[in-house]
Chain A
Amino acid sequence: MPLIKITDLCKDYANDGVLTKVLHHLNFEIAKGEFTALMAPSGSGKSTLMHILGLLDRPTCGIYELDGKDVTKLSDDELAELRNHKMGFVFQSFNLLPRTSVLENVKLPLFYGHAPIDQHDELAKRALESVGLEHRLHYLSNQLSGGEKQRVAIARALVTNPEVIFADEPTGNLDSKSGGQVMEILQTLNQSGRTIILVTHETYTAEHAQRIIRLKDGEIVSDEKVRDRKTAGDGLIK
């Protein structure tokens, strides 16, 4: 059974009475443990698709099955619960809480979950270790470099031990060295069995994934395995 199964999915936006079709009847599956890149030029619906896959937005039509269960009809609270323990998000602009310590930032998802409070510090520290930031626990988020911020964001996405991590242009605001570190971490996470969905408009970045789904004007134009897969550390990533 695939982790994600999309059937005939579409998304329309109504803006001042003008209907904009963003996604047209998409069909695809993503298996557990797969590292998939959604690739498209800006404005062609890839962020919308990621938001729907990440349960931050609802499709206008079609079926989205997560772990074999249709999630399009779930209530807002049920979606929040699924986001909390099945998903992790990494955003282009990091979205850390300002003037808040690294540890507190990473602990944030735990407060909306079920882990006992006395384990929160330990879980957050372990997540920070896995991104190599155990020495920055008590730094405030605004005292970090861009690369460090994104690694904190990855630690935050990891802390609830989710099945799938969504990364929306995670290297977009970073220099190539920090970008390389971020991709390396994502590849390592994937090797340890986690499903990763990467959204990017950069071919080079997308080629770190196992598979690339290309979108154009809201439709899938190609869906293929990466033949010459890049490994982070090979070269510079931007």
Chain B
Amino acid sequence: MLQLIIHYLHLITSTLKKNRKRTFLTMLGIIIGVSAVIFINSVGAGAQSLIFNQIKGVGSNLIGILPGGSEEDGPPASVMGIIITTLTNDDALAIAKQILHAESVTSYVKGTGTLHWQAQTADSSFNGVSSSYIVTEETEVGEGRFFTEDEARDLSRVIVLGSQIKEDLFGDQDPIGQTVRLKKENFRVIGVMKPRGTAGFQNYDTEVFIPLLTAQKLLLGIKHISFMRVKIDKEIYMDDSVEQIKQILRDRHNISNASEDDFSVRNQAQALQVLGSVTDALRLFMAAIAALGLLVGGIGIMNIMLVAVNERVREIGLRKAVGATYKNILWQFLLETTFISFFAGAIGIILGIGFSFLAALIVRQLDYDWDFVVSWQSIVLGFSASCAVGLIFGIYPARKAARLEPIDALRYE
């Protein structure tokens, strides 16, 4: 058995060496297919990491509370732009008081408007938030300071600018202490946020922050809030806290049945899981498309092996005449295709990793938080798929070769 394997390996390598160009062309389909699988998988994982890193940038121990009820997995209506007024800052204060593990609770209202300073203007979305905002969102002020709890309570007209807005309005000048106008009201600039970049579809650097009450009363004329975020001190308390928050809100809103909830409580970790499963499915789908390339490569191998069998009919006849059995010939050709696709797979994997690394390098140059990930699963998949393709598409030509009658093969011209 061992001597047969050695003989086959010797035979295959010498056959392939004699037909270098053809061997390379046979491999090409598999090489492209496998490297595409690896590359697409890696880019998919990189994109996933980009999204996750940005979401984690918001903080992962967060519980989000939105007005309006919803199905467990679906989005609440408020996300669609429907205004629901069931949630107030008093709810937030109650939660802050009653939830033991709440590190901070922040209420949000949102609006858009144009900022004016001297002759400069900048479009921005403004956030009315609690003074706990920077704790909840784990973000920092670059220059100056954020507003205090007292300022928030006193309806102060103070504003903290996103780094991009500051750049647009003031350029190199110091904005602290300057007065800007937003919706016909004057605000004193007390701070500028550190650059934070984009998360999802939101660019934090073009936002401005004013006290919640100021935004509600002066700019929007409303009493409800858009949503609230609760930061829990430890991840293990997340699930309990979600249940407690639901109970508090039901008590406050006089709701006896969970199906009548006029709010939705969402755990950030759950959101990540949902997003993860969606992007996983997407990656799998893309890899499946890339695997189609492998199929085409396999058909290429089959074609070329059929030609090779025809060219080697006399060789097959001779081998049979000197004692080769059906199985001997079958294995010779089957191993040949498997060998070709195995090597093509190896080359494809190396190329795929190389391309993925290049892509990651380029994206990182563009200043994105992109991980270079090549999962061992994709390597195993690439290898086994290429070997399987070689085996499957090798069977037909190999059987054709092995079935030749020695006498017909020897007579073949």
Contact, CB under 8 Å: A91 / B410: yes
CA gap between A85 and B322 in the complex, in Å: 8
Report whether A117 and B325 are in contact in the complex, using a CB–CB cutoff of 8 Å. no
- Least CB distance from B248 to A in Å reads 81
* A74 close to chain B: CB less than 8 A: no
C-alpha spacing A80/B7, complex, angstroms:
18
What is the CA–CA distance of A141 and B410 in the complex, to the nearest angstrom?
A: 18
Smallest Cβ-Cβ distance to B315: which chain A residue: A97
> Are A56 and B321 interface neighbours, CB within 8 A?
yes
Given contacts A99-B18, A112-B328, A117-B3, contact A84 B406 (CB under 8 A): no
How far, in angstroms, from A113 to B325 measured CA to CA in the complex? Answer: 11
Q: Which residue from chain A places its CB closest to the CB of B406 in the assembled complex? A: A56
Please, how many angstroms separate the alpha-carbon atoms of A113 and B317 in the complex? 17
Contacts of B322 in A (CB 8 A): 83-84, 89, 108-109, 112, 156
Known: A57-B407, A100-B14. A117 touches B314 (CB 8 A): no
Tell me the complex Cα distance, A113–B6, Å: 14
Bound CA–CA A113/B323 (angstroms): 7
CB-CB contacts below 8 Å: B6-27 with A? 6-7, 14, 18
Digitize B317-331: 1 where CB-to-A-CB distance is under 8 Å, 0 elsewhere.
111111111111000
Q: Pick the contact of A95: B3, B6, B18, B410 (CB < 8 A).
A: B410
Contact A80 B314 (CB under 8 A): no
Q: Which residues of B sit under 8 angstroms from A57, Cβ to Cβ?
A: 405, 407
Q: In this assembly, does B4 line the interface, its C-beta being within 8 Å of a C-beta of chain A?
A: yes
* Bound form: Cα–Cα A7–B317 in Å: 28
A91 to B407, CA, bound (A): 12
Q: Total contacts A to B, CB within 8 angstroms? A: 61
Give Cα A122 to B21, complex, Å.
35
Q: Does A77 contact B (CB under 8 A)?
A: yes
Q: How far is the CA of A112 from the CA of B2 in the complex (A)?
A: 12
Q: How many residues on B have C-beta within 8 angstroms of the other chain's C-beta atoms? A: 25
A111 on interface, CB distance cutoff 8 Å: yes
Per the CB 8 Å criterion, the residue count for chain A at the interface is: 27
CA of A85 to CA of B4, assembled, Å: 17
Give the distance to chain A from B3, nearest Cβ to Cβ, in Å: 4
Interface: A76 (CB within 8 A): yes
Complex: A179 Cα to B315 Cα, angstroms: 24
Query: How far apart are the CA atoms of A76 and B18 in the complex, in Å?
Result: 31
Evaluate contact between B314 and A111: CB separation under 8 angstroms: no
Q: Is the CB of B323 within 8 A of A95?
A: no
How far is A112 from B323 in the complex, measured between Cα atoms in Å?
A: 6
> Is the Cβ of A112 less than 8 Å from the Cβ of B325?
yes
Among A51, A56, A95, A111, which residue has its beta carbon within 8 angstroms of that of B7?
A111
The contact of B325 among A54, A77, A97, A100, by CB within 8 Å, is A77
Q: Is A81 an interface residue (CB 8 A)?
A: yes
Contact A76 B3 (CB under 8 A): no
Q: How far is the CA of A221 from the CA of B317 in the complex (A)?
A: 31
Please tell me if the beta carbons of B326 and A84 are within 8 angstroms of each other in the complex.
no
Q: Annotate A74-103 by CB proximity to B: 1 below 8 A, 0 otherwise.
A: 001100110111000101000101011000
Give B19's nearest chain A residue, CB to CB. Answer: A99
Given contacts A95-B314, A99-B18, A117-B6, contact A56 B407 (CB under 8 A): yes
* Minimum distance in angstroms from A73 CB to a CB of chain B: 17
Residue pairs across A and B with Cβ atoms less than 8 A apart, 22 shown, are A56-B320, A56-B321, A56-B406, A77-B325, A77-B327, A80-B323, A83-B322, A83-B323, A84-B322, A85-B323, A89-B322, A91-B410, A97-B318, A104-B14, A108-B318, A111-B4, A112-B319, A112-B323, A112-B325, A112-B328, A113-B323, A117-B6
Which residues of B does A touch, CB under 8 Å? 2-4, 6-7, 14, 18, 314-315, 317-328, 405-407, 410
Additional A-B contacts beyond A56-B406, A95-B321 (20; CB < 8 A): A54-B321, A56-B321, A56-B410, A57-B407, A81-B325, A83-B321, A83-B323, A84-B322, A84-B323, A89-B322, A95-B410, A109-B322, A112-B319, A112-B322, A112-B325, A112-B328, A117-B3, A117-B6, A117-B7, A160-B323
Q: List residues of A whose CB falls within 8 A of some B CB.
A: 51, 54, 56-57, 76-77, 80-81, 83-85, 89, 91, 95, 97, 99-100, 104, 108-109, 111-113, 116-117, 156, 160
The 9 tightest CB contacts between A and B, nearest first, are A84-B323, A112-B323, A117-B3, A109-B322, A111-B7, A80-B325, A57-B407, A95-B318, A56-B407
